[in-house]
A and B are shown apart, each in its own frame.
Chain A
Amino acid sequence: MGLLEAIILAVLAASTPLLLAAAGELVTERAGVLNLGVEGMMIMGAACGFAGAYFTGSTIVGAVCGILAGVGMSAVFAWLTLGLAVNQVAAGLALTILGVGMSGLIGAGFVGERITAVPQLWLPVLTDLPFVGRILFGQNALVYGSIALVIGIWYFLYRTRAGLVLRAVGDNHASAHALGYPVLTIRTFAVLFGGACAGLGGAYLPLAYTPFFISGMTAGRGWIALALVVFASWMPGRLVAGAYLFGAVTILQLHAQGAGFGIPSQLMTALPYLATILVLIVISRTRGTIGSAAPASLGLVFVPDR
């Protein structure tokens, strides 16, 4: 296997959790809710996903547990921000603090334990094709699933009536409410969907990336996923490009560390975070030309008049 092929395989593997979590957050934000708790939901997804797979030996059960953990966390967030009109930034931070703590509590029992990783696809002939075989036909189900998810989200947002309503709720909740759409109900579903995706993205880490659980294993991926949504200008297509770009930065810095150019390893490890900042600056500057604006009601509290 050539180096380039190995790098591309590693990039796909590293990008998938980002893509899953960011795709969910994109839908949440399109409905006008800013959930900063992605990191907390992801790490809970990782802990519960690992626990599920560990006790049953089934990665599918593990993935379901991860999704449920994300949904559970986001339900708390939805209840606070939509039910009690709490500030979304503060509630999202609370969700992250809680998730990091809870995952440590759950994960304390699994120190040093391992599980079997998700199997990779193997098709006769096709997977054996030189170079493209492993890349196109040799991934695990979640890698394909994440791409299917983004296509599904694109179709939903731009080709269905429900997607149009969801975008309307995010752009102008007062008008959507006046037209008779149940703003808070739609937002609740969007938040729960975001939680499910973040939970699955988190579960991907112990199930498919590294077959064990360590506390804090998401290492800021939830926050990078949030930045990716901004990078993608809230458009699903650009999300895929952004996620793979970030995966590439992560993997390239690892290879650069391995090659050892005399650059401090800490600088290399900091690259994805520095790249995130750079991207946020560039995208925010060019908003209106290449970037589209954020959903107009993003992060605003809505309490319907009765």
Chain B
Amino acid sequence: MLVLEKRAERSALIAVASPLIAIVLTLVTIAILFALLGKDPLFALKVYFLDPLNDPYSLQEITVKATPLVLIGVGLSFCYLANAWNIGAEGQFLIGAVCGSWLAVVTHGTEAGPWVMPAMLLFGAAGGALYALIPALCRVKFGASEILVSLMLVYVAELILDYLVRGPWRDPKGMNFPTTAEFDSVATVPILIEGSRVHLGALIALIVVAGAWLLLSRTIKGFEIRLVGVASKAARFSGFSSDRLILFTFAVSGALAGMAGIIEVAGPVGHLQPGISPGYGFTAIIVAFLGRLHPVGILIAGLFLALTFIGGEMAQITLKVPLDLTKVFQGILLFYVLACDSLIAYRLRLIRTQRKVAHEVANGPA
């Protein structure tokens, strides 16, 4: 039978190769799934993963979709490195969108200057951070599971957003649709490249990636985060407080998720409405793991997962497969990533069970 055996040293080769192995395994599985759905697997994979790369519009869309994934993913990696389990980024994303939108709604139709957009980003980040601090405080002060609390708050955030756009913030000229009025131009994120959909958010995401890399590799705080994750006892002896670190990592990841939320609303969407996120907050969990919790890895992983969103939409149109296939794909990918990561610290070994050994001792090898 197959058993796990701890490696003497972590395998550096597999550490680099594991995300790639996971992607290949996922592609094989997806191909089989396509075949089961009665589609030509190779053609389907081409539609899903290659066609978006050959189409300028899709390439822009990939950067647009990757922006929130990378922002949230970087924040989540801080939490996961420190063994703090924030799985409510989706909620923090929505609350960030709500808090930033508040400014857009109250300044709508006024002579407000160009300070509005930066202030909105600040509000979004602050809102997301405060919302993320709720589960962190519940954990630190009361010992309540931050996993469950942060997830419950996702549902609450959806309802808060829903209430606002159906009630007080609804656009009176919006034909009764649950949406705010289109944001004024001072309240929108500027386009980066003229004539495209690539907006300032993409640049912000790149800056965040660089900042996160600096923080993790060049500062004491970064060392603390990594140390608490791998050796919590040693961290405690060196005087690092794990409670403070939980609050810190939750606040950072909440702020980044909240900023991603307001960037999405003030950028590609242009107004606040329900359904602004196709599950970015959850997909970003996969992004964080696929990127092996490293900022640069997360950047690449974010682009790849964005590709699956675009490919999924293309496949829905061209191949007539349900959009949910994208989620299946993402779930399978996370499974393979986790399984392959396990092989960094362990190796699989085939051993003979004792019964078989006893049998062979008695009767000679089979």
Contact = CB atoms under 8 A, between A and B. Distances in A.
Interface in B342-365: 342-343, 345-346, 351
| Most chain B beta-carbon neighbours within 10 Å: one of A230, A284, A287 | A284
A227 B166 CA distance: 30
A284 B142 contact: yes
A215 B279 CA distance: 14
Contact of A85 (B166, B328, B330, B342): B342
B220 to A, nearest CB: 26
Nearest to B3: A306
Interface stretch (B58-66, B144-152, B185-193): B144-152
A101 B327 contact: yes
Given A83-B2, A101-B327, A101-B329, 13 more contacts: A84-B343, A90-B289, A94-B334, A95-B331, A105-B322, A220-B151, A266-B166, A273-B152, A276-B148, A280-B144, A280-B148, A303-B6, A306-B351
What are the 10 tightest A-B residue pairs by CB atom distance, in nearest-first order? A101-B327, A98-B331, A104-B324, A101-B328, A266-B163, A94-B334, A266-B159, A97-B331, A284-B144, A280-B144
A176 interface: no
A82 B235 CA distance: 28
B143 interface: yes
11 contacts: A36-B147, A86-B338, A93-B282, A98-B327, A100-B324, A273-B156, A277-B152, A280-B138, A281-B142, A285-B144, A303-B346
Interface in B64-115: 85, 87
Among A80, A105, A230, the one with the most B-chain Cβ atoms within 10 Å of its Cβ is A105
Interface in A238-269: 264, 266-267, 269
Given A223-B152, A284-B142, A76 B335 contact: yes
Given A85-B346, A101-B326, A266 B162 contact: yes
Nearest to A89: B85
Contacts of B148: 223, 226-227, 230, 276-277, 280
A164 interface: no
Interface residues on A, range: 35 or more
Which of B5, B85, B342 has the largest number of chain A CB atoms within 10 A?
B342
B143 A285 contact: yes
A102 interface: yes
Interface residues of B, number: 51
Nearest to B143: A284
A286 B218 CA distance: 41
Nearest to A79: B339
What's the dominant secondary structure at chain B's contact region?
A: helix
Nearest to B340: A84
B147 A277 contact: no
B153 interface: yes
Contacts of A108: 322, 324
Given A85-B346, A90-B334, A97-B286, A266 B160 contact: yes
A103 to B, nearest CB: 8
Contact of A101 (B147, B325, B341): B325
B155 interface: yes
B342 A93 contact: no
A274 interface: yes
Interface in A65-115: 76, 80, 83-87, 89-91, 93-95, 97-105, 108
